[in-house]
Structure 1
Amino acid sequence: MTIDQAVSTTLPVNPGQALPSDRTALGSSDGARLLQGERNWWFLGPGGVARLGGRHVTAGGTLRPEAEQRLRESGMFTPSTVRAYALTVLTSTHCNLGCGYCFQNTAQDQAGGTRPPRIARTRLNSQTITSLLGFTERQMAAVGLEKLRILLFGGEPLLNPRGCLELLERATDIAPTSAWMISNATLLTPSLARRLTGLGLTSVQVTFDGDRADHDRIRIGRADGSGTFDKIIRNIVNASEVSPIQWTLRVNVSQETFHGVDALIDRLATSLDPARCTLYFARIGDVGVGYTNSLLHTGELPAAFTRWQRRALDLGFTVSRPGARKTCVTCGHADGRYGAVVSADGTLASCWETAGKPDWEVGTVADGYRPSTVTGDRWVACQDLYRFDENARTLARFRDTVDTALLDYLDETGRL
């Protein structure tokens, strides 16, 4: 939308320049952002994105009162309503790959091989499913939610396909259920794809570590060090032929993969159906397992992210739209109000990064969450444990610059 359909820019503009990070927040808790594009200003609020003209913004880079009032009246400051309980379940804490950066590792492989030590191995079973569904039903009733959205997670969730299928099948007894999955896709068969989608699975997130050669050095079989790129592509193609699964393709960016990303995007476009795929790029960080990524958020990285996003759009992929800073529905509420993360043994964690780690448990599905006086130091949110060599201001500036460029391009090409 626009305010008064106005797009004129009466203020001098630096093309693609985002506001300093301390000026992007318009409120202490609403997460709104104000970015300066090539021709327009962009307001990103909890209720959506608006294109503004220069007359709506002060010389200091803040909203004029009348513009803010119009945005509030149109719902742009209003967060969307939570409509489903977000339940993340680790069906298996084991994984068949040996990626060195995984946040479920406990250290690097000291022998330099493909078997970094990991969190304890557990599998979801029928008894635990009974307990976690009872817990979920109680949590949903407490906030009046009647729908359930399940994330099948791991480790590798498909190391326990029976647990995945039983969980989805039994979940329908407590609420209308839909699901998505984060998987390395090496074990995804057409038969499993059909059965999972029949039980409500709508989408799968799969990771690529750069183009084929880089990926096959990094995202490798734990048992034998074998490459996985071609197997993943083949499994996605075969699953797509028998199911309506939508795919989110995460591209990990590090010093090891950076120079192959351009070729990867083109390869994915020729191998898969871009119309069924969302592509996004993420710089890998370290959560204290000894992984090193020397690629910084400065230098050529912002321009590279912009180039990759534009190429993906031009090839027919979906690229996630920028938005306001949002509180995670799962880890953003210390009482698990709108969502929970459950490990395969029924222990509760505040977020994905700490699931299955004994020092980070915040309760169990049998007994519920422990008091905040006990879990206060253990309750962390998304990305809280990631370590970067740059400060928060630098990270915010990177995000603002990339998001501004994407909004400008979406607008320029009529995709916004």
Structure 2
Amino acid sequence: MGPGGVARLRAGHLTPEGTLTPSAARRLAEMGLFRTSRPKTYSLTVLTSTDCNLGCGYCFQNVDQDPTGGSRPPRISHARLTSDTITDILEFTRRRMAAAGMEALHILLFGGEPLLNPRGCRELLSRAAGHGLASASMISNGTLLTPLLAGQLVDLGLRSVQITFDGDAVTHDHIRVRRSGGGTFEGIIRNIARVSETTPLGWGLRINVSHLNHAGIDSLIDTLADRLDPSRCAVQFAWVGDVGVGYANEMRHTAGLAERFFRWRRHALERGFGVGRPRAHLPCGTCSHADGLYGAVVSADGTLSSCWETAGKPGWQVGTVVDGYLPSGQTENIWVSCDDQNHYSDDDQAVTAFNDAADAAFLDYLAETGRLRT
């Protein structure tokens, strides 16, 4: 796998040590397999609210576990996007896009839970129309999304929403619980179905996997396929890592679990869901380039972070939209990218072997069923 695609190699393309032969490497380079394209769209992530109505124990925005063992873990500080901050964000974005020579803008509505501030979501998208807004997406827990609100956001450019599930209904309602108490599974399913009836939104269904829920993943796939329109949904399976808030995922990167990850992908594809093809790690347009060259992450108060994983966290600010980025000498130790915060109990070699096994099995399945080029 490379940034430019996937190539299926034969034994003659490899040395006895398993590396590419010089001729194979030259051919793949000519085909563009190793070529990384420059981003064409400026990627702006905005936290419209740092608050959340759920109390998931593994959330990277928690600063600790709930000391009472309940569903109210302490979180990052409260902030809410205002009209004045939107003005500052859009002016900052205009300057950054001009410096990068970019004309198209993509906005990701983020939180906390972004729909705790629906007015901020609407105003940001509406005013961004004059700054090259080409599309918008949102990461939401789905509990507050209504057909009326979804329709308003679609009219302003929203095209897709990512929503997370934490296993089958019983397990999900134990993990993904409201801060006030009570499960969320049925409400989320109902909201997606109702919004799908009235809008063209696409859905990204993120299925978190941990030692608490992996036994119910197959039944979850079937439930989602039976209750939703799989043709409008893309599914991904995400390992819940330890982000330093006292939550430990006891799963290990074993060959047996890699087989299960492959089987879940195959099951989802056979039920009609979109399932992303394994691909090489690509630089993130937002956080993989020095000083946010092609994108930015802005908290609701206008502070800048290098990545959404550190947004709103004290001590991780790399500037403000008013003053711009701090000098690189002040940010080099706090400039992190997406992968830096994924902490696992296993070593890097075990993680790599796990990913290779799961990805290779799925790629072989795609090739065998004629799906690899679609």
Specify the alignment match of 1:363 in structure 2.
319
- Confirm or deny: 8 A CA contact 1:354 1:360 kept in the other structure: yes
TM-score, normalised relative to structure 1: 0.88
Aligned counterpart for 1:204 among listed residues 161, 166, 191: 161
Q: Does 1:186 align with 2:186?
A: no
- State the alpha-carbon separation in 2 of the partners of residues 326 and 408 from structure 1: 22
Instruction: Give per-residue Cα distances to partners, 1:328-356, cap 9 Å, x unaligned.
Output: 11111121101100000000001111100
Aligned counterpart for 2:333 among listed residues 367, 377, 381: 377
Aligned counterpart for 2:112 among listed residues 149, 155, 169: 155
Q: Does 1:82 align with 2:26?
A: no
Residue correspondence of structure 1 range 222-301 to structure 2 within 5 A? 222-223=179-180, 225-298=181-254, 300-301=256-257
Specify the alignment match of 1:324 in structure 2.
280
- Alpha-carbon distance, 1:65 to partner: 1.9
- State the alpha-carbon separation in 2 of the partners of residues 359 and 320 from structure 1: 35
Greater alpha carbon shift after TM alignment, 282-291 vs 363-372:
282-291
Instruction: Give per-residue Cα distances to partners, 1:80-117, cap 9 Å, x unaligned.
Output: 23110010000000000000000000000000111000
Q: Does 1:302 align with 2:258?
A: yes
- State the alpha-carbon separation in 2 of the partners of residues 93 and 286 from structure 1: 21
Aligned counterpart for 1:219 among listed residues 162, 169, 176: 176
TM-score, normalised relative to structure 2: 0.97
Larger % of helix: which? Answer: 2
Q: Does 1:386 align with 2:336?
A: no
- Confirm or deny: 8 A CA contact 1:86 1:330 kept in the other structure: yes
Runs of 5+ consecutive residues of structure 1 not aligned to the other structure: 1-43
Runs of 5+ consecutive residues of structure 2 not aligned to the other structure: none
Specify the alignment match of 1:115 in structure 2.
72
- State the alpha-carbon separation in 2 of the partners of residues 325 and 221 from structure 1: 34
- State the alpha-carbon separation in 1 of the partners of residues 263 and 341 from structure 2: 29
- State the alpha-carbon separation in 2 of the partners of residues 246 and 80 from structure 1: 25
- Alpha-carbon distance, 1:68 to partner: 1.9
Q: Secondary structure at the match of 1:384?
A: helix
- State the alpha-carbon separation in 1 of the partners of residues 155 and 349 from structure 2: 45
- Alpha-carbon distance, 1:299 to partner: 5.1
- State the alpha-carbon separation in 1 of the partners of residues 158 and 131 from structure 2: 17
- State the alpha-carbon separation in 2 of the partners of residues 53 and 122 from structure 1: 55
Q: Secondary structure at the match of 1:181?
A: strand
- State the alpha-carbon separation in 1 of the partners of residues 255 and 28 from structure 2: 35
Q: Does 1:315 align with 2:249?
A: no
Specify the alignment match of 1:14 in structure 2.
none
Q: Does 1:346 align with 2:314?
A: no
- Confirm or deny: 8 A CA contact 2:143 2:191 kept in the other structure: yes
Specify the alignment match of 1:105 in structure 2.
62
Q: Which amino acid aligns with 2:124?
A: L
Q: Provide the alpha-carbon RMSD of the alignment.
A: 1.0
- State the alpha-carbon separation in 2 of the partners of residues 339 and 195 from structure 1: 25
- State the alpha-carbon separation in 2 of the partners of residues 376 and 73 from structure 1: 35
- State the alpha-carbon separation in 2 of the partners of residues 190 and 196 from structure 1: 10
Specify the alignment match of 2:93 in structure 1.
136
- State the alpha-carbon separation in 2 of the partners of residues 173 and 231 from structure 1: 35
Q: Secondary structure at the match of 2:340?
A: coil
- Confirm or deny: 8 A CA contact 2:56 2:176 kept in the other structure: yes
Q: Which amino acid aligns with 1:280?
A: Q
Q: Secondary structure at the match of 1:308?
A: helix
Specify the alignment match of 2:102 in structure 1.
145
- Alpha-carbon distance, 1:53 to partner: 2.5
Q: Secondary structure at the match of 1:313?
A: helix
- State the alpha-carbon separation in 1 of the partners of residues 361 and 255 from structure 2: 16
- Confirm or deny: 8 A CA contact 1:204 1:246 kept in the other structure: yes
- State the alpha-carbon separation in 1 of the partners of residues 7 and 329 from structure 2: 41
Q: Secondary structure at the match of 1:250?
A: strand
Q: Secondary structure at the match of 1:58?
A: coil
Q: Which amino acid aligns with 2:169?
A: R
- Confirm or deny: 8 A CA contact 2:61 2:75 kept in the other structure: yes
- Confirm or deny: 8 A CA contact 2:177 2:183 kept in the other structure: yes
Q: Secondary structure at the match of 2:266?
A: helix
- Confirm or deny: 8 A CA contact 2:255 2:357 kept in the other structure: no
Specify the alignment match of 1:174 in structure 2.
131
Instruction: Give per-residue Cα distances to partners, 1:7-38, cap 9 Å, x unaligned.
Output: xxxxxxxxxxxxxxxxxxxxxxxxxxxxxxxx
Specify the alignment match of 1:66 in structure 2.
23
- Confirm or deny: 8 A CA contact 2:268 2:275 kept in the other structure: yes
Q: Which runs of 4+ in 1 moved over 3 A?
A: none
Specify the alignment match of 1:28 in structure 2.
none
Greater alpha carbon shift after TM alignment, 274-283 vs 44-53:
44-53
Identity %: 60
- Confirm or deny: 8 A CA contact 1:331 1:350 kept in the other structure: yes
- State the alpha-carbon separation in 2 of the partners of residues 70 and 210 from structure 1: 44
- Alpha-carbon distance, 1:193 to partner: 1.1
